[in-house]
Structure 1
Amino acid sequence: MAKALIFDFDGTILDTETPWYEAFRALYAEHKVELTLEQYSQCIGTSLHLFNPYEYLITDCGIAIDRDVFRSRVHEKHAELMKQETVRPGVISFLESAKAAGLRIGLASSSRLEWITPYLDKLELTSYFECIQTADHVKLVKPDPSLYLQTISILGIPAGDAIAIEDSPNGAKSAIAAGLHCVVLPNKITQYLDFGNITQHGQSLADISFEHLINDPSGFLAKPAV
């Protein structure tokens, strides 16, 4: 029986990822540049070290734009698109069930705390999490396992007793590398990414039985085929 649930944030609790892609794609289109999902996927669920969508037009396309103005416009477009987003289906139910069952609840995100906190507070979700680990707390973010290893260490739970809830390949790889069970629930954009042999479990937590998951987490161990 599982003793802890550890949630990713972006794309898992709240789909902030699809609006980011749509915002960048719209601004790229103004410069007649197509931003493919293949390109953008390199920075989903991780840092911008492989692909930086704020710099690509300048560094790779040779387009002279004001970095600050471009960043500001992307953020404005993202904020506009985020007005249509709500907590993903099943998340609140799972949090309530985990709390009632006495499970430890953590959050492990490759984003910064200053990005996550306002959303959690606005959605009234902060109190559910006894441990929140972000890019501020580790040297390497997902797919490196550090975020999950640090979270389970703080919670005092062995990796095999914890279940990660993820939406992206990078997030799933991180949880798997840390030895956690992992439920993979792609969102509107990550469903098109290449998960390789990593098992996907549905469209949202609404597709998962809480009791089944907690009592038999081994049945949800998302791992690549050997």
Structure 2
Amino acid sequence: MIKAVVFDFDGTILDTESCEFEGLQTIYKEYGAELPIEVWGECIGTHANFFDAHEYLEKQIGKSLDRDMIKQKRKDLFTEQIKTKSTLPGVIEYLEAAKRLGLKIGLASSSTYEWVSSHLDNLGISEYFECIRTSNDVENVKPDPTLYMETVKCLDIKPEEAIAFEDSSNGAKAAKQAGLYCVVIPNLVTSHLTFDDLDLKLESLAELKLEDMISRFTNEHKEGK
């Protein structure tokens, strides 16, 4: 029986990842360089230090750069782009459906609490989440399963009683290793990734009602799939 839903944040609730990637691409192009989406995609859903975009740029052009200036420009570009973004399709409907169905709602993110909470406040959806676990709460982030294990523990449910919503292969791996159902909704940045750990893949959450998803998983469990 499904008793909870657990959302990833970046790229699942808000498409911060495309904004980050597009901003970096703008900077790279100014130096005659390119950041392949395949390279950037590998770091999605895990800790921020997994990939150094500034070092990668310096290696491509063969010289050192003013990193503080690059970081500020990257921040400015992101801030401008994120202003135009709202929650991804189906997110609000799923939050409302989960609330209506009496499900518990959690969030598990490899980002910092400050990052996640500020965006949730800006989107006006903070009150939906009973439990939020971020990089502030664990030693190892995704693909390590601890974030999801801590979230379901906080929600006081068993892992198999929750559905995780993810956009990255690192996140999906974490969710499945923790024992949750996992629904993957790739975005522009993660669509090329290989997903080995999932129960369902959708174009967007607007594609399938939460009630129908729960019925599907419940029936599959009864049939022993």
Fold shared per TM-score above 0.5: yes
Q: Post-superposition shift, 1:112? A: 0.6
Deviations 1:133-156 (A, max 9, x none): 001111111111010000001111
Superposition TM-score, scaled by structure 2 size: 0.92
Q: Distance in 2 between matches of 1:76 and 1:49?
A: 20
Give the match for residue 106 of structure 2. Answer: 106
Q: 8 Å contact 2:47–2:141 — kept in the other structure? A: yes
Match of 1:87 in 2: 87
The 3-state SS of whatever aligns with 1:114 is helix
- Mapped to 1, the partners of 2:74 and 2:89 lie a distance apart of 27
Secondary structure of 2:41's counterpart equals: helix
Displacement over 3 Å in runs of 4+: 58-62, 196-200, 218-221
Deviation digits for residues 22-49 of structure 1, max 9, x if unmatched? 1111111111111001111121111134
Q: How big is each residue's C-alpha offset from its partner over 1:183-226, in whole Å with a ceiling of 9 and x where there is no partner?
A: 111112211222247465221110112112223425789xxxxx
Contact 1:182 1:220 in 2 (8 A): no
The TM-score, its normalising length taken from structure 1, stands at 0.91
Equivalenced residue count is 221
Unaligned runs of 5+ in 1: 222-226
Q: CA deviation at 1:68?
A: 1.1
User: 2:162 and 2:41 mapped to 1: Cα distance?
Assistant: 27
2:43 is matched with: 43
CA spacing shift, 1:197–1:103, aligned 2, 3 Å: closer
Structure-to-structure mapping, 1:29-40, within 5 angstroms:
29-40=29-40
Partner of 2:175: 175
The 1:198–1:214 alpha-carbon spacing in structure 2 relative to 1, beyond 3 Å, is closer
Shift of 1:110: 0.5
CA contact (8 A) 2:46 2:141 kept: yes
Tell me, in whole angstroms, the C-alpha distance in 1 between the residues paired with 2:61 and 2:180: 41
| Structure in which a larger fraction of residues adopt helix | 2
Which 10-residue stretch deviates more, 97-106 or 42-51?
42-51
Map Cα deviations across residues 125-181 of structure 1 (whole Å, 9 max, x no partner).
100001000011111111110100000011111010010011111111110110100
Assess if the C-alpha contact under 8 Å between 2:183 and 2:198 holds in 1. no
> Where in structure 2 are the equivalents of 1:46-65 lying within 5 Å?
46-58=46-58, 61-65=61-65
2:168 partner amino acid = S
Cα pair distance change 1:126/1:166, threshold 3 Å: same
Structure 1 distance, partners of 2:6, 2:201, is 16
Q: Does 1:145 align with 2:145?
A: yes
Instruction: Look up the match of 1:14.
Output: 14
> Which residue of the partner structure matches residue 207 of structure 1?
207
Shift in alpha-carbon separation, 1:168–1:3, aligned structure 2, 3 A: same
Distance 1:219 1:204, change over 3 A: farther
What is the Cα-based RMSD across aligned positions, in Å?
Answer: 1.9
Segments of 5+ residues of structure 2 without an aligned counterpart are none
